[in-house]
Structure 1
Amino acid sequence: MSIRLKIGITLATLAFAGAALAQTPAAKPSRIRGDIVSLDGDVLKVHRRSGDTVSIELKPAVAVSAVKSMQLSDIKPGSFVGTAATTGTDGKLTATEVVVFPEAARGTGEGHYGWDLGPNSTMTNANVDTVVQGTSGRNLKLSYKGGSNEVTVPPNVPVVTFTPAARSDLTPGKKVFVVATAASQGGAYVAQRVVVEKDGVAPPM
């Protein structure tokens, strides 16, 4: 396999992984967070945070990615990020995690919408216009098609970016984040994309 082809495959994988933070209302995807119980053939079993265990079909084309840690200082004007945040009583956004997208995934899921990490949770996928040091962390001024907002990123919030992974990384006990659709029968799911813990870094989204 040529180096150019390998690079192309890697970029495509990262772009596809970036779509894990995209909202697709028409498809009504489920976001499954939990610990891997097993991978048997094409069936991934995950023990969810809610306490139940679900089966997820992994079709051959489904890409598996991971995340690696970055520093808050790595976020610069011009970065394209996805940040989950909570809305305070004052209406201000405070980040609970930040994903810095690789350039190949710029524009993925662009916008501001509801998220399911907790009450008043939102997701903003946007360009970073400015970064200002504030009293509670760094304040990111974000712009996206149709709007803009500002989010404060406290120093202890996980900041990650996507990195390639393989099915061999889907081992019992690893934490995983799966975007999936419900199967037509049997109560199982069909994975659209998978982000797995690797080198001790769990997907925070």
Structure 2
Amino acid sequence: MQTFSWLSQPGDTVRMNSVVPPAQIGFRFRSNALIGTHGIDARIRWRHAVSQSTVIRLLQVAGFALFFAASLAYAQDTVRVRGTIEHAEGQTVVVKSREGAKLKVLLADNASVVAVVKASISDIKQGSFVGVAGMPQADGSQRAIEVLIFPETMRGTGEGHYPWDLRPQSTMTNATVVHIEQTVAEVDGRVLSVKYKDGEKKIIVPANVPIVTFVPSDKSELKPGMHIFISAAKRLPDGTLQASRVNFGKDGLTPPM
């Protein structure tokens, strides 16, 4: 049980009992006003001990908020770029995006440039690590839009299943092939069973789906008219994009991812 006092006039004190939780919160209010010839001096002090568990919960909430804000800022500061090279000179590449925007891309000093080249369904083996952009099907499977066969040195890149922005509602599955159905009566193509760290998927690969892989290259190969894909360009304060990796289509190929 706690008490607090209300002083309506000097010398007058009214004490009131109040049941409060076991915390200690300080609040003080002072008001001077004239009503007739009397001044009012109001003071309220309310104290209460804040439990240790409450402080811990507040710190946890604050930590989560900071993490979420940092993640959101990162997502807003990196963009995917799909488009055609208009000009390339030194470390600078000017790209017309698929949305029609003109983008200035600055290559990082240690940027890697990689050619995207054609591959075939026969290049996909049990144990291959692949990246598949697909569309979800009613039965829970994915229908491939494209398949990337990762070089062995890139095994594990982006492993998992998550949304992708190639088309509305499309997904990306980066995983290891554990089984290949060579012939399926209902499908003109093959069905891959793939496994990633958090689950597995069945992926239908139609015969006409583009299948590609990566081959190392360098920036001297970047020419006007080439189609490129940048998975994570960093947006700089002046609006320029900075890329640590650029993928370009070899021999007129459009990177399908």
Once residues 90 and 117 of structure 2 are traced to their aligned partners in structure 1, the CA distance between those partners, rounded to angstroms, is 27
**Does residue 181 of structure 1 match 2:227?**
no
User: Residue in 2 aligned with 1:202?
Assistant: 254
- RMSD over aligned Cα, in angstroms? 1.6
**Does residue 97 of structure 1 match 2:146?**
yes
Percent identity of equivalent pairs: 45
Structure 2 counterpart SS, 1:31: strand
Query: Cα 1:26–1:104, aligned 2, differ >3 Å: closer, same or farther?
Result: farther
Once residues 147 and 48 of structure 1 are traced to their aligned partners in structure 2, the CA distance between those partners, rounded to angstroms, is 34
**Does residue 153 of structure 1 match 2:210?**
no
Once residues 26 and 98 of structure 1 are traced to their aligned partners in structure 2, the CA distance between those partners, rounded to angstroms, is 30
User: Residue in 2 aligned with 1:170?
Assistant: 222
Post-superposition shift, 1:88? 3.0
Structure showing greater Rg: 2
Post-superposition shift, 1:201? 2.5
User: Residue in 2 aligned with 1:42?
Assistant: 91
User: What is the TM-score normalised by the length of structure 1?
Assistant: 0.83
* Pairing of 1:33-72 with structure 2 (within 5 A): 33-72=82-121
Structure 2 counterpart SS, 1:73: helix
Greater relative contact order: 1 or 2 (C-alpha under 8 angstroms, separation 6 or more)?
Answer: 1
Contact 1:82-1:124 at 8 Å conserved across structures? yes
The match for 1:131 among 171, 180, 188 is: 180
Q: AA paired with 1:93?
A: Q
Post-superposition shift, 1:30? 1.1
Contact 2:113-2:219 at 8 Å conserved across structures? yes
User: Residue in 1 aligned with 2:195?
Assistant: 143
Post-superposition shift, 1:91? 3.6
Gaps spanning 5+ residues in structure 1: where?
1-23
State the 4+ residue runs in structure 1 displaced beyond 6 angstroms. none
User: Residue in 1 aligned with 2:155?
Assistant: 106
Once residues 111 and 118 of structure 1 are traced to their aligned partners in structure 2, the CA distance between those partners, rounded to angstroms, is 18
Query: Cα 1:70–1:26, aligned 2, differ >3 Å: closer, same or farther?
Result: farther
Q: AA paired with 1:164?
A: P
Once residues 126 and 146 of structure 1 are traced to their aligned partners in structure 2, the CA distance between those partners, rounded to angstroms, is 10
Structure 1 counterpart SS, 2:135: strand
Post-superposition shift, 1:68? 1.5
Deviations 1:85-128 (A, max 9, x none): 01134443100110111111111111011100011110010000
